[in-house]
C-alpha cells in the first residue's frame, strides 16, 4: 500500500489561496510520480473568516491540525484588521504552540540573472539560515505605562533561554555537518551591544566543541547584513536569534531572486512542522492571478524533504531550477508576464518532461 501523508492546509489571506492552489497541484503531481498520497484538509482561518465569524483559530481546530503530518500555510495579514492580531493568532500560535523552534530558510540562487548583485553566480549564493523561532522579542512580553501621556513608557523583553539557545545551535551544527559543503557555521548576534547574547556566545562555543569537524565563525548582525551583500559566498550555515533572523532572511531572499522564490520551514524535528513562503499576503495582488507561486512550490519542496520524500523534493527543485535558468519563468515578480496558474502549469509540464527524459 502506498504511503499517505496528511497535510493541513491554511491558505490564509490575500494571495495566499492562489499560490497555495498551485503548490497543491505540484504536490499532487509529484505524489503520483513517486507513488505516495498527500491527503489534504483545508482550514479557512484568516481575515475573511475572522470578519465573518470572529473566530481566529479555535482550540478544536488547533488540536486537529496538530495531528497532521505537516502544515502548509499561504500568508496571513489583512489591512482591515489590526496589525499583528492574526499573525499572532495564527502563525505565532503554531510556532509557539507546536514548539517549532527552528525556522529554516535556504538562500539559494538558481539563475544568475535573478541576482541583483553584480557578477554573482549560483555558486556564490548558497547558504541556509537557521533562525530561532520561539523566543526573543517574539515571546510577546510587552507592556505600557502611562499609555497615551507624554510620559509614556513602552517595554518589550528580549528573552533567551539556555534550552532554547542550545537546541537551535545544536540543530545548526548538525545541519552544517549534513550539508557537507564548507562545513562552517556562522553565529550571527549582537553580543557587543545586547549583552544578554553572551548566552549565545558561550553556548555556541560549548556545543561547537562537540563538532570539531565544523568550523566556527561569527558576525555581528550589522556586519552580517553587509557581508550578505558583499561576500555572500562566505556563508554556509548561519544560526541566529529570532528577530535578527527575520531581518537577515528578507535581505537574503533578495539576493536569491526575491521573495517570489524564498520559502521556509518552521520545524520541531520529528514532530508536525509548518511550511510557508516567506512573502506576505500582498493584498493589492489578491485574487488577480498575478502572484508568483514559486515560493509556495518551494515550501512544498521543503515539506516533502522534511517528510523524507527526498526524491519528490528533488524533482520539484530541479524543475524550478530548470524553469528559472532557461528563463521560461523569466522573473519572480508579478511582472513576469505569467499568471499564477501559468507558472503552476509550467512546473507541472517540467515535472513531466524530466520524467520522460529520465
Is residue 246 annotated as a catalytic residue, yes or no? yes
Cβ nearer to ligand IPM, comparing 126 with 246 = 246
From Mg ion, ligand IPM, none, interface partner of 332 (C-beta below 5 to 8 A by class): none
The answer to the question of residue 246 lying near ligand IPM (CB under 6 A) is yes
Catalytic residue, from 99, 198, 222, 335: name it.
222
Determine the Cα angle at 74 with ends 248 and 266, to 5°: 50
∠ Cα 338 342 344 (to 5°): 125
Nearer to Mg ion, 100 or 351 (CB): 100
Q: What is the 3-state secondary structure (H, E, C) of 245-296?
A: HHHHHHHHHHHCCCCCCCEEEEECCCCCEEEEECCCCCHHHCCCCCCCCHHH
Of 133, 98, 104, 90, the C-alpha closest to 243 is 133
Which residues here bind Mg ion, judged by CB under 5 A? Answer: 246
Nearer to ligand IPM, 190 or 279 (CB): 279
CB of 172 to Mg ion, least distance (A): 19
Among residues 237 and 249, whose Cβ is nearest to ligand IPM?
249
Closest CA to 221 of 198, 204, 201, 244: 244
Nearest-angstrom CA–CA distance, 172 and 237 = 7
Q: Buried b vs exposed e over 228-257: b needs ≥16 C-beta within 10 Å? A: beeebebbbbbbbbbbbbbebbeebbbbbb
Closest distance of CB 138 from ligand IPM, Å: 7
User: Computed over its alpha carbons, how large is the radius of gyration of the chain?
Assistant: 20
Position 89 contacts ligand IPM (CB under 6 A): no
Number of residue whose CB is nearest Mg ion: 246
Contact 262, 105 (CB under 8 A): yes
Question: Is residue 14 a contact partner of residue 286, using CB atoms and an 8 Å limit?
Answer: yes
HSE-CB of 229 using CA atoms within 13 angstroms: 10
Binding residues for ligand IPM, rule CB under 6 A, total 4
Q: Does the active-site annotation cover 171?
A: no
If one asks whether residue 13 binds ligand IPM (CB under 6 A), the answer comes out as no
Question: What is d(CA 227, CA 230) in angstroms, rounded to the nearest whole number?
Answer: 5
Residue 18 as a binder of ligand IPM (CB under 6 A): the answer is no
Which CB sits closer to Mg ion, 259 or 346?
259
In the complex, minimum distance from the CB of residue 280 to Mg ion, in angstroms, rounded to a whole number? 8
- Contact characters 195-234, ligand IPM, x per CB under 6 A: ----------------------------------------
Catalytic residue among 124, 217, 250, 318: 250
Task: Say which entry of ligand IPM, Mg ion, none residue 135 contacts (CB below 5 to 8 A, set by partner kind).
Answer: none
Q: Which is nearer to Mg ion, 12 or 208 (CB)?
A: 12
Q: Is 126 helix (H, G, I), strand (E, B) or coil?
A: strand
Q: Is residue 247 within the footprint of ligand IPM (CB under 6 A)?
A: no
Phi, psi values for residue 245, rounded to 5°: -65, -35
Which one of ligand IPM, Mg ion, none interacts with residue 87, CB within 5 to 8 A by kind?
A: ligand IPM
Q: Which of residues 58-87 bind ligand IPM (CB under 6 A)?
A: 87
**288 is known as an active-site residue:** no
- The answer to whether the CB of 294 falls within 8 A of the CB of 332 is yes
Nearest CA to 16 among 58, 72, 55, 54?
72
Q: Which does 166 bind (CB under 5 to 8 A by kind): ligand IPM, Mg ion, none?
A: none
Of the candidates 77, 97, 72, which has an alpha carbon nearest to the alpha carbon of residue 10? 72
Nearer to ligand IPM, 18 or 246 (CB): 246
At its nearest, how many Å lie between Mg ion and the CB of residue 264?
9
Please identify every residue annotated as catalytic: 138, 190, 222, 246, 250
Residues of this chain that bind ligand IPM (CB under 6 A): 87, 91, 246, 278
Amino acid at each position: 500500500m502506498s504511503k499517505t501523508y496528511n497535510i493541513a492546509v491554511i491558505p490564509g489571506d490575500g494571495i495566499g489561496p492562489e499560490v497555495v492552489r498551485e503548490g497543491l497541484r505540484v504536490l499532487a503531481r509529484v505524489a503520483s510520480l513517486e507513488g505516495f498520497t498527500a491527503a489534504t484538509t483545508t482550514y479557512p482561518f484568516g481575515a475573511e473568516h475572522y470578519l465573518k465569524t470572529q473566530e481566529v483559530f479555535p482550540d478544536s481546530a488547533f488540536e486537529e491540525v496538530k495531528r497532521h503530518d505537516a502544515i502548509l500555510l499561504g500568508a496571513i495579514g489583512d489591512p482591515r484588521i489590526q496589525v499583528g492580531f492574526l499573525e499572532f493568532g495564527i502563525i505565532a500560535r503554531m510556532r509557539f504552540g507546536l514548539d517549532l523552534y527552528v525556522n529554516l530558510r535556504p538562500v539559494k540562487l538558481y539563475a544568475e540573472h535573478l541576482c541583483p548583485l553584480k557578477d554573482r553566480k549560483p555558486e556564490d549564493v548558497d547558504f541556509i539560515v537557521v533562525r530561532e523561532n520561539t523566543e526573543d522579542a517574539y515571546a510577546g512580553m510587552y507592556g505600557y505605562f502611562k499609555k497615551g501621556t507624554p510620559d509614556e513608557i513602552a517595554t518589550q523583553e528580549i528573552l533567551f533561554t539556555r534550552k532554547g539557545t542550545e537546541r537551535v545551535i545544536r540543530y545548526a551544527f548538525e545541519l552544517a555537518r549534513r550539508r557537507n559543503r564548507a562545513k562552517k557555521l556562522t553565529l550571527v548576534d549582537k553580543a557587543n551591544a545586547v549583552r544578554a547574547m553572551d548566552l549565545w556566545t558561550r553556548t555556541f562555543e560549548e556545543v561547537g566543541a562537540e563538532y570539531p569537524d565544523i568550523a566556527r565563525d561569527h558576525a555581528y548582525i550589522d556586519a552580517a547584513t553587509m557581508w550578505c551583500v558583499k561576500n555572500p559566498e562566505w556563508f554556509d550555515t548561519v544560526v541566529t536569534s529570532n528577530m535578527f533572523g527575520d531581518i537577515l532572511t528578507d535581505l537574503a531572499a533578495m539576493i536569491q531572486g526575491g521573495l517570489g522564490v524564498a520559502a521556509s520551514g518552521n520545524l520541531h524535528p520529528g514532530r508536525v512542522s509548518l511550511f510557508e513562503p516567506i512573502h506576505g499576503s500582498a493584498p493589492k495582488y489578491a485574487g488577480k492571478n498575478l502572484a508568483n507561486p514559486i515560493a509556495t512550490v518551494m515550501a512544498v519542496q521543503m515539506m516533502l524533504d522534511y517528510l523524507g520524500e527526498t526524491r519528490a523534493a528533488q524533482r520539484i527543485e530541479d524543475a524550478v531550477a530548470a524553469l528559472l535558468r532557461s528563463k521560461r519563468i523569466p522573473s519572480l515578480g508579478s511582472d513576469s508576464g505569467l499568471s499564477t496558474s501559468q507558472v503552476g502549469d509550467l512546473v507541472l509540464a517540467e515535472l513531466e518532461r524530466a520524467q520522460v527524459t529520465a
